[in-house]
Structure 1
Amino acid sequence: MESRRDFLKAAGVAGAAALTGTAGCLGSFGEQAYGDGTVQFMMSPSEPQNYMMKQYGPMRDYIDSEIGDSADVELQYAADYSAVLQGLGSGSADIAETGPFAAALGVKADKAEIALQRHAYGSWTYTSVIVTRKDSDIESLSDLKGKRVAFADMTSASGSLYPLYMLQDAGLEIGEAPVSDNGADFTGTWSGHAEAFKALQDGQVEAAGVGKFITQGDDGYVEGIEPIIDYKKEYGKGIPRAPMVVSPELSDSEKESLVSALKDAPEDAYLGKDGEGDTDDDLWFDGVRPAKLEDYQPVIDVANKLNLSTDLLDSA
């Protein structure tokens, strides 16, 4: 199928260089900063909208304070990863948090530039899992033949790309996934991490392929849920944690200043609406570092093994 071919073939594809320079105060741009005087910060739909608004509110306020009177910062909640990239590519969004695979697709399509990588839970990597309910009779991936499996957004690394890779590596046919489940050994549905996990909890599907972060409870997994496979444990390596990306429509000084502000964000910008640590509205990450496309080569390699292409953006 042509739409699944010729992704990022060269390991050294030139991506956006890490934007580490300092352009002084963000307010130095004057009235024409960021085009319409507004910095649009777009959030990917990894969790429910009201939850993410509380998480990112203090970070928005911090960036807004750095900008001063030259622009206001607004948060946008995207319908899916494709909407994030379309916003960045058109200039209607200026900076965004998104997934590794979506970011790589965005760079290849000239819709985004990777600027920063996020750090969380003591690591620069994370993992993907395929989980089921404890009361099911599913013990291995081969047991998912003929079963219903929910995934996150089709361009999500941990919620689509890596679960499909693990299924394929276990000998299951994935057919045209993630565009559709035609030719697959399972019935697949694609939505978001939270939606896919809830579908499993509600008994609408027999398994879910998601980022492990959405499955976490007080003692490991949420009560009643157990893993079939954990990518990091099975393959001995993690997935590079998700990046923050900027619009190629911004000027170099605008990009550099936004990235510099995020690099220097104080601890309280990560603490969520209540301003207290270790509560439910904390941001899931606690720091960032400069990054570029090459840092996400492991994700690109998995995409190539699945024969995925940038045409996937047009299907999302």
Structure 2
Amino acid sequence: MNMKSVVVKNITFIVAMIAIILVLSGCGAEAGSSEDHDGENARADWPEKLVFTPIPLEDQQELTNRYEPFAAYLEELLDMPVEIYPATNYAAAVEAMRNGHTDLGYFGPFAYVHAESRANAEAFSGGIPAPGDEPVYESYFITLKDSGIESIEDLEGESFVWADPTSASGHLFPKAHLVNELGIEVDQIDDMFSEVAFSGNHEASVLSVLNEDVNAAAVYDVTYNMILRENADHPNIDNLVIFEKTNPIPLPPYTVRGDLPESFKDEIKDAFYNAVNVPELQEFLEDTGHGGGYVEVSDEDFEVVRKTAEGLGMAPEELLD
């Protein structure tokens, strides 16, 4: 082979290699561009901020203060502003989600059933008191030691407060409990009390009993224990007693608005499920009764709630009346 042939072959080889390198580089750049493009677009349909409405268990300002640490956690993780939008009651919370004013909602079980049908709410998580706990809770019937009330049979003729019309632990489950245990019709329950009213939230119900404004109330167990801690210096705190408990109730679920982008909902869910591993959130989790973190729940877990509503003669649209 002469020198000219060798040179031509080498040049041809080099040109071919350069062409291959350019093609591969182009593909790599294209792939990289596609990846970058996808990365940029992954959040393109996300909202500009996340609006969170906590369950209306207490005063609105106290709710806002209580959930600020979790809002800060979500802000950092999602890289967007998080606004706490406390509602005055369950009806307002459901309507806020229905109208697109709230993206993330924390509902009582009955309010969730209504929110699922009216506002396209999707249940995904519930907070447990300690690791390994079942995702359920109870309603407590409470009074003061010297009230003369020792059992639900003693409630006749006494003053009483429910928390909110659609509250599972503050109204509907304890009312169903009275129906089942006392053997009377649901529409006769309120007639057995000398006075009956809705306090608006569980904190107000507990304080109404502590302040001797009413003789008894039905409240969420987590809120009851929280109020005990926060009102340790109340003159009646040592006189507060639980005289009856309901059967287990599904945990109040955290929900997302169903029409939100799936990628956004997935990020929110992951944030909840991983919260128990974040040291900065431990005080917040304990303070809200969720020291065990957040576990996965689904709509199926709330069939017992729907059946209880049916037992009370209530359709979903009536749950917030």
**TM surpasses 0.5:** yes
Distance in 2, Cα, partners of 1:165 & 1:269: 40
SS in 2 for 1:301: helix
- Listed as ranges, the matches of 1:1-316 within 5 Å are 28-30=42-44, 32-34=45-47, 37-68=48-79, 71-122=80-131, 123=133, 124-169=135-180, 170-175=182-187, 181=190, 184-186=191-193, 187-190=195-198, 191-216=200-225, 217=228, 222-232=237-247, 238-265=248-275, 266-268=277-279, 270-272=281-283, 282-286=287-291, 287-313=293-319, 315=321
Deviation of the 1:290 alpha carbon? 2.2
Deviation of the 1:73 alpha carbon? 0.8
SS in 2 for 1:116: strand
State TM-score, norm by structure 1.
0.77
Classify 1:140/1:92 alpha carbon distance in 2 versus 1 (closer, same or farther; 3 Å). same
SS in 1 for 2:85: strand
State TM-score, norm by structure 2.
0.76
Q: Per-residue displacement from partner, 1:128-157 (whole Å, max 9, x unpaired)?
A: 111111011122212212222111111111
Say how many residue pairs are matched. 270
SS in 1 for 2:316: coil
Classify 1:189/1:139 alpha carbon distance in 2 versus 1 (closer, same or farther; 3 Å). same
Q: Which has the higher contact order (CA 8 A, sep 6+)?
A: 1
Deviation of the 1:25 alpha carbon? 8.5
Deviation of the 1:111 alpha carbon? 3.5
Classify 1:246/1:189 alpha carbon distance in 2 versus 1 (closer, same or farther; 3 Å). same
Taking only aligned residues, the RMSD between alpha carbons, in angstroms, comes to 2.7
SS in 2 for 1:250: coil
SS in 1 for 2:165: coil
Look up the match of 1:14.
Answer: none
Is the contact made by 2:165 and 2:319 (CA closer than 8 Å) also made in structure 1? no
Classify 1:25/1:148 alpha carbon distance in 2 versus 1 (closer, same or farther; 3 Å). farther
Distance in 2, Cα, partners of 1:289 & 1:46: 21
Deviation of the 1:50 alpha carbon? 3.5
Distance in 2, Cα, partners of 1:250 & 1:61: 21
Is the contact made by 2:142 and 2:216 (CA closer than 8 Å) also made in structure 1? yes
Classify 1:79/1:269 alpha carbon distance in 2 versus 1 (closer, same or farther; 3 Å). farther
Letter in 2 for 1:299: V
Query: Identity, % of aligned pairs?
Result: 25
SS in 1 for 2:238: coil
SS in 2 for 1:135: helix
Classify 1:136/1:26 alpha carbon distance in 2 versus 1 (closer, same or farther; 3 Å). farther
SS in 1 for 2:146: coil
Task: Give unmatched runs, 5+ long, in structure 1.
Answer: 1-23, 233-237
